[in-house]
């Protein structure tokens, strides 16, 4: 073995000497143009591999060693079983070189069973639990989160009114601790409306009502039921009227949204003027009846009232009974 290495080294020196004398194509180290690495000796599990590569322009060459391969043991025999406290050992014979290969086996995990509570948690304080390894007796502690209070029903201390919120008290069902809680203010309970001024045409009426609990009064201006007017909540009734006014040539605006805007108000006012009604632009009962009558006279059809859901249901029921 030693002799072989010596001969090899001598060869290398000879090659190096030849490189110095023969060609001198590459002046600097970075000028060399190497081919790919050629394996002279392959690596095994007992020796390194040896590779060369040569410059295409000159006699220069390089060498390198590659790492030994790992042994390839056959079946491993456990010589010492692992436990949860110590690693185990196993060995086998390399199928390539015949050497004995020894390896360690990872420790086993501890065999923790059920948790034992060592300190019960309370509403406010964490508790402690413990696990014990059935094999080695090792203990592992764990925190048990505090439970939090378990508040019972609210007992009214000061009842809420529709003017002010009230207070109540709650008691923890577990530890008896109490806390004060706010009870929301009550809603006013409005009584019936009292009309203080009747509506008339485009002039709204006025009505008031009082809270049956605190007596607080409120009033509002109103039109009679069924009146359509500017800036009211968009609705189907407005659409039905706009369609008739369109057919009659008074309305040229949008019909889709059911909005009673300036255009609608203007169309209603023109209709009223031409039909001997006061032209305030508010579609009161008289105006709506006149629009329907004019529309029916012009189209020869019979107008169908727009029904809300409840009315629709009644109409359907009436129909079913009629059959
Ligand atoms: Zn070269
Ligand atoms: Zn081997
Ligand atoms: Zn253990
Ligand atoms: Zn509590
Ligand atoms: Zn009230």
Task: Kindly state whether residues 247 and 303 are assigned to the same domain.
Answer: yes
Task: Kindly state whether residues 293 and 235 are assigned to the same domain.
Answer: yes
Does a structural domain hold residue 210? yes
272 touches 279 (CB < 8 A) = yes
166 C-alpha vs ligand 5 centroid, how far in Å?
Answer: 14
Does a structural domain hold residue 117? no
Task: Kindly state whether residues 178 and 243 are assigned to the same domain.
Answer: no
DSSP letter (8 states) at residue 254: -
Does a structural domain hold residue 299? yes
Mean pLDDT for the stretch of residues 65-94: 95
279 C-alpha vs ligand 2 centroid, how far in Å?
Answer: 112
Rounded CA gap, 144 and 128, in Å? 5
13 C-alpha vs ligand 1 centroid, how far in Å?
Answer: 17
Task: Kindly state whether residues 166 and 195 are assigned to the same domain.
Answer: no
Task: Kindly state whether residues 239 and 257 are assigned to the same domain.
Answer: yes
User: Which of the residue ranges 12-26, 141-155, 183-197, 206-220 would you say has the lowest mean pLDDT?
Assistant: 12-26
Mean pLDDT for the stretch of residues 225-232: 91
Give the number of other Cβ atoms within 10 Å of residue 114's Cβ: 7
Tell whether the model's pLDDT for residue 52 goes beyond 70: yes
Two structure tokens written together for 309: 């859901």
φ/ψ of 294, rounded to 5, equals -65, -40
For ligand 4, an ion, list residues with CB under 5 A: 123, 149, 172, 174-175, 177
Q: What pLDDT sits at residue 322?
A: 43
Length of the chain: 323
pTM of the model: 0.43
How does the average pLDDT of the chain come out, rounded? 88
Does a structural domain hold residue 195? yes
Does a structural domain hold residue 261? yes
Task: Kindly state whether residues 279 and 235 are assigned to the same domain.
Answer: yes
What is the DSSP track for 17-58? Answer: HHHHHS-----SGGG--B---EEEE---SSS-EEEEEEBSSS
Does a structural domain hold residue 58? yes
Q: What pLDDT sits at residue 1?
A: 42
In the listed set 132, 164, 187, which residue is the last one of a domain according to the structure? 187
Q: How confident is the model at residue 247 (pLDDT cuts 50, 70, 90)?
A: very high
Task: Kindly state whether residues 231 and 294 are assigned to the same domain.
Answer: yes
CATH of the domain at 263: 1.10.101.10
What confidence tens digit (pLDDT) does each residue in 86-130 have? 999 999 999 999 999 999 999 999 999 999 999 999 999 999 999
42 C-alpha vs ligand 2 centroid, how far in Å?
Answer: 14
Tell whether the model's pLDDT for residue 138 goes beyond 60: yes
Task: Kindly state whether residues 235 and 307 are assigned to the same domain.
Answer: yes
Task: Kindly state whether residues 213 and 279 are assigned to the same domain.
Answer: no
Does a structural domain hold residue 231? yes
Mean pLDDT for the stretch of residues 238-259: 94
Task: Kindly state whether residues 192 and 179 are assigned to the same domain.
Answer: no
- Closest ligand relative to 107 C-alpha: 3
185 C-alpha vs ligand 5 centroid, how far in Å?
Answer: 10
Q: How confident is the model at residue 161 (pLDDT cuts 50, 70, 90)?
A: very high
What confidence tens digit (pLDDT) does each residue in 262-299 have? 999 999 999 999 999 999 999 999 999 999 999 999 99
User: Which of the residue ranges 55-59, 129-133, 145-149, 311-315 would you say has the lowest mean pLDDT?
Assistant: 311-315
Q: How confident is the model at residue 6 (pLDDT cuts 50, 70, 90)?
A: low
Number of domains in the chain: 4
164 C-alpha vs ligand 5 centroid, how far in Å?
Answer: 10
- Closest ligand relative to 138 C-alpha: 3
State the pairing for strand pair 178-183/217-222: unpaired
Structural domain boundaries enclosing 218: 188-222
Task: Kindly state whether residues 265 and 297 are assigned to the same domain.
Answer: yes
Q: What pLDDT sits at residue 323?
A: 40
Tell whether the model's pLDDT for residue 321 goes beyond 70: no
Does a structural domain hold residue 272? yes
Task: Kindly state whether residues 176 and 215 are assigned to the same domain.
Answer: no
């Amino acid at each position: 073995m030693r002799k072989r290495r010596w001969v090899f080294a001598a060869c290398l020196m000879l090659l190096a000497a030849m490189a110095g004398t023969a060609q001198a194509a590459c002046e600097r180290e970075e000028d060399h143009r190497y081919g790919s690495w050629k394996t002279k000796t392959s690596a095994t599990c007992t020796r390194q591999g040896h590779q060369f590569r040569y410059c295409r322009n000159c006699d220069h060459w390089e060498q390198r060693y590659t790492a030994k391969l790992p042994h390839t043991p056959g079946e491993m025999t456990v010589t010492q079983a692992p436990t949860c406290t110590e690693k185990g050992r196993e060995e086998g014979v390399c199928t390539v070189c015949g050497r004995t290969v020894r390896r360690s086996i990872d420790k086993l995990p501890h065999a923790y069973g059920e948790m034992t509570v060592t300190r019960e948690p309370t509403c406010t304080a964490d508790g402690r639990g413990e696990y014990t390894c059935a094999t080695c007796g090792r203990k592992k502690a764990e925190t048990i989160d505090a439970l939090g209070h378990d508040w019972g029903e609210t007992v009214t201390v000061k009842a809420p009114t529709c003017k002010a919120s009230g207070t109540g008290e709650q008691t923890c069902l577990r530890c008896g601790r109490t806390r004060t809680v706010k009870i929301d203010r009550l809603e006013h309970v409005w009584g019936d409306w009292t009309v203080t001024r009747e509506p008339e045409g485009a002039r709204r009426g006025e009505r008031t009502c009082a809270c049956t609990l605190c007596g607080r009064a409120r009033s509002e201006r109103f039109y009679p039921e069924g009146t359509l007017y500017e800036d009211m909540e968009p609705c189907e009734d407005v659409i039905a009227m706009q369609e008739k006014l369109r057919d009659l040539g008074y309305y040229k605006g949008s019909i889709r949204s059911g909005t009673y805007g300036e255009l609608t108000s203007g169309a209603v006012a023109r209709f009223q003027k031409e039909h001997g009604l006061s032209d305030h632009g508010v579609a009161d009962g008289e105006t709506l009846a006149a629009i329907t009558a004019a529309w029916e006279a012009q189209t020869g059809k019979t107008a169908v009232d727009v029904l809300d859901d409840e009315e629709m249901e009644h109409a359907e029921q009436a129909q079913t009974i009629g059959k």
